[in-house]
Amino acid sequence: MYIQHQGSYRQTFASETAYGEFLSSPLAPELKGTVQFYQMPYGVEVFVQVGGLPDFKKSKNGKQIGPHGFHIHEKGVCEIGDGKEPFSSAGGHWNPDGQPHGNHAGDFPVLFSNQGRARMIFFTDRFQVSDIIGKTVIIHEGPDDYQSQPSGDSGRRIACALIKKIN
């Protein structure tokens, strides 16, 4: 579901591009969407659009569902497994320079659900597109607190996208 941006700023100035298409889990079976990465002169522009996010609520154990943690993970594998802890195959957060959580190169802003939909564009200078090809992007069930070590206590993984280079 890659979206062409014909004649856009991104197409004109991006030197390298990558994308991922989200695979949903049993925790969010309706989730669909894409994430795209555009190498710009001073960093990377990240564009994500998803639908089918779970509604905001507090669960029985006090954990919050939504807004949704959103990160690059270290391994390029999106296997659902038994469905209880989906996408554990993607490993931990991608943290190439050994920073504490909240400052990992792969730490992104949370996704806010608007009737199940989210769309966001942000800029980062923490990596280049070539650094993340073959890694995964994970959407989590709960919010990232940007403090708990090692991964922000964002809960279970509800979607996974393998990052691929666009030719």
Residue 149 sits in a domain whose CATH number is: 2.60.40.200
Give a yes or no: residue 36 inside a domain. Answer: yes
> Side by side, which strands form the sheet with 17-21?
118-124, 43-51, 32-40, 17-21, 164-165
Q: How many domains does the chain have?
A: 1
Give a yes or no: residue 74 inside a domain. Answer: yes
Give a yes or no: residue 2 inside a domain. Answer: no
Q: What SS3 string covers 105-125?
A: CCECCCECCECCEEEEEEEEC
Backbone angles phi, psi at 46, to 5 degrees: -115, 130
Give a yes or no: residue 44 inside a domain. Answer: yes
Where in the sequence is the domain holding 149, given as residue range(s)?
Answer: 9-165
Give a yes or no: residue 1 inside a domain. Answer: no
Q: Tell me the average pLDDT of the chain.
A: 87
Give a yes or no: residue 3 inside a domain. Answer: no
- Name the residue with higher pLDDT: 135 or 107: 135
Give a yes or no: residue 141 inside a domain. Answer: yes
pLDDT tens-place string over residues 43-60 = 999 999 999 999 888 766
Give a yes or no: residue 47 inside a domain. Answer: yes
| Whether the predicted pLDDT of 96 surpasses 80 | yes
pTM across the whole model: 0.88
